[in-house]
A and B are shown apart, each in its own frame.
Chain A
């Protein structure tokens, strides 16, 4: 347990600014053998420790087979994340992890994949998109659906454009509020679902974003013919420990940090509609 609770020193190798408040830290453990041993699956998260300030749970967005570095995309919003945003290459931080269950990527092999993300919560899903892109022959059609409140909230627009040009890949982006040069749909993202080019009964869906969005998205996907057992979603709750001890991440009887953060829809569908759980 000591090993699970105590961070290990890591170094910022690169800092990428994604938007005014969103940034990516590319990291490696200072201890080479620890770095070589470190393994994660997309959807899992690390606890990032900022010296003298505290820890935050952040999902890993890089590819699990990228041995050189692992990446975290972070929005500067709280005390720890604002401090993390000021780290520069060469700066040190602490890392514990990885924790939790990842996306069902093996289960999705050979099937169509529909990825639905909302708001700024797309980072855990980007790791899946990258994963599928690099192993394209293992999967069927890939549909990427991203909804944002305001067109200006969309980060990684170039990636969406690039993905949309890939074979057997469909990208649908929507903003509730568009701008003059917004090339995609204006309106609720769920209006686009019917256009998804998938074999619904043979599709694995993965969702990430606000709970209300995921609940509505699940309803629309069920209407398309995607079975509930093939829908997966990543949940978010306060986390202080990462190992199911601190109690903050509970939703019903689930500890999001260790039973999730990726859940099958059937595990949480009764809890999703209840506000304030």
Chain B
């Protein structure tokens, strides 16, 4: 629902309103040459007049003269670290003198987070993570606690990067669902829409101006331009049959020659969910902490069973990542695991392009 127009110099009001509801604001800021989501206190901290130049294996920021806060595509993070924490303590075991062991479950600290500047691709990825962590056999308690604490302020993407292909996956550049508030950034301010009851309440507490017809046409033109600008695309939204018919395609060996199996793609991927159980005994031996930490199917240990590494080479590991992302997700959660954010392309140190590989593998017979 469209709520009104927030002048650029009133953006701070939005942050204050969220703070008054008990939320800590997290927003995009320039850190170490990239845009990261970090604690946001003042609107001046936002990346005003910054754009990102992304390409296979490359991510650079540039200054522009413009007034906009959100004139860039994305940084490496998405929402994943906020809900599926890179390290999450699940329980603690305490051993008494008589050798009995007590298990104490742990949950993340209750913290209400409002995230400013969420992209459509990030919301689509969050929905996929929800399907994975909140579905049967039971909700994951740690994920559910973090997820319930989020207030999401989306900003429709106006400046997709060269790596983006969300229009092809159907997940952007405009956010259509999953947000509390969504903003369309224009030079003078923001068209505010609400997507939830609490979003509407918050919007009602802001001093908003009327949205004019000119603003609406500019917003529509901007959305269309953002879509038209994207040049990359996947051959289809459902590549499952095509991929599983081509598990021995010669391209897997070719891409494995370039792939470093570093796991950057799975780290920046907003939907990759693999994690490992990690045990950290305390030095006095009286307790031991069991955590889950992000893992990657590119590591040797990922497929290790009793002395055997099932996926022993990079070809098998890249194939696993790729066929899972674009194929098996359909079987598991009813859609592709790719939301077109392009992060795996930009953050790959050798610039492997998932759309290029998909085209090479999925077109033709697979025996060429």
Contacts and interface: CB of A to CB of B under 8 A. Distances in A.
Query: Which of A4, A244, A248, A254 gathers the greatest number of chain B CB atoms within 10 Å?
Result: A248
A178 B16 CA distance: 79
A273 B116 CA distance: 48
A248 B101 contact: no
B281 A1 contact: no
23 contacts: A6-B105, A9-B102, A51-B101, A52-B95, A53-B281, A54-B290, A55-B277, A92-B95, A94-B93, A94-B101, A237-B310, A238-B304, A240-B276, A244-B137, A245-B133, A245-B140, A247-B275, A248-B276, A253-B329, A254-B331, A258-B137, A275-B316, A277-B247
B91 interface: yes
Nearest to A96: B103
A244 B304 CA distance: 17
Given A1-B138, A1-B141, A248 B302 contact: yes
Contacts of B8: none
Contacts of A245: 132-133, 140, 273, 275
Interface in A1-56: 1-9, 30, 49, 51-55
Given A5-B91, A91-B99, A247-B274, A252 B331 contact: yes
Contacts of B303: 237-238, 248
Contacts, number: 139
Interface stretch (B43-51, B57-65, B175-183, B320-328): B320-328
A54 B277 contact: yes
Given A1-B144, A276-B316, A53 B279 contact: yes
Interface in A67-89: 75, 77-78, 81
A74 B274 CA distance: 26
A244 B273 CA distance: 11
Contacts of A142: none
B71 to A, nearest CB: 36
A236 B133 contact: no
Nearest to B303: A238
A106 interface: no
Contacts of B319: 276
A238 B302 contact: yes
Contact of B277 (A3, A93, A246): A246
B315 interface: yes
A246 B102 contact: no
Contacts of B327: 253
B100 interface: yes
A15 B44 CA distance: 66
Contacts of B285: 52
Contacts of B275: 240-241, 245-247
Interface in A212-252: 236-238, 240-241, 243-248, 250, 252
A248 B295 contact: yes
Contacts of A93: 101
Contact of B90 (A6, A90, A252): A6
Contact of A92 (B99, B277, B279): B99
B306 A4 contact: no
Interface of A: 1-9, 30, 49, 51-55, 75, 77-78, 81, 90-94, 236-238, 240-241, 243-248, 250, 252-255, 258, 270, 274-277
A240 B328 contact: no
Decide if the interface of chain B is mainly helix, strand, loop or mixed: mixed
A276 B279 contact: no
A236 B132 CA distance: 22
B228 interface: no
Interface in B151-192: none
Interface in B303-357: 303-307, 310-313, 315-316, 319-320, 323-324, 327-332
Contacts of B91: 5-7
B297 interface: yes
Given A6-B90, A240-B295, A276-B312, 17 more contacts: A1-B140, A1-B141, A2-B141, A4-B138, A49-B93, A51-B93, A55-B277, A81-B306, A240-B275, A243-B138, A246-B295, A250-B320, A253-B332, A276-B319, A277-B247, A277-B310, A277-B311
Nearest to A53: B279
A269 B277 CA distance: 30
Contacts of A244: 137
Query: Which of B90, B141, B285, B305 gathers the greatest number of chain A CB atoms within 10 Å?
Result: B305
Nearest to A80: B279
B122 to A, nearest CB: 20
Contacts of A237: 303, 305, 310
B365 to A, nearest CB: 18
B288 A52 contact: yes
Contact of A276 (B132, B140, B310): B310
Contacts of B93: 7, 49, 51-52, 94
Contact of A246 (B107, B276, B279): B276
B232 interface: no
A47 to B, nearest CB: 9
Given A1-B139, A5-B90, A52-B285, A276 B103 contact: no
Q: Which 4 A-B pairs have the closest CB atoms?
A: A253-B331, A276-B316, A247-B274, A253-B328
B306 A77 contact: yes
Given A49-B93, A237-B310, A274 B247 contact: yes
A230 to B, nearest CB: 24
B292 interface: yes
A240 B277 contact: yes
A4 to B, nearest CB: 6
A49 B103 CA distance: 11
